[in-house]
């Protein structure tokens, strides 16, 4: 269990540091002088990509939590 938790924590840390751009976006944004627009696009892509995972994870956690809480009350 500790190994899985540690793996997930490292995955999240490295997930945040990745650059998520399609090839066309990268080509257009790299030709720009200042990289502020490219950083903004990267942040937007990461935001849009992370939200579904957070929602699904939250719903899964709530279901897990309610299932085991009910199981303890029955005993």
**Chain mean pLDDT for the chain:** 78
d(CA 22, CA 72): 48
Do 36 and 28 contact (CB within 8 A), yes or no? no
Phi, psi of 15 (to 5 degrees): -65, -40
Extract the residue ranges of the chain whose pLDDT is less than 50: none
């Amino acid at each position: 269990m500790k190994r899985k938790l540690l793996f997930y924590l490292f995955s999240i840390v490295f997930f945040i540091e990745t650059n998520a751009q399609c090839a066309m976006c990268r080509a257009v944004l790299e030709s720009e002088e200042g990289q502020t627009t490219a950083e903004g696009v990267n942040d937007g892509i990461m935001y849009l990509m992370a939200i579904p995972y957070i929602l699904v994870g939250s719903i899964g956690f709530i279901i897990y939590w309610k299932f085991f809480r009910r199981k303890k009350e029955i005993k």
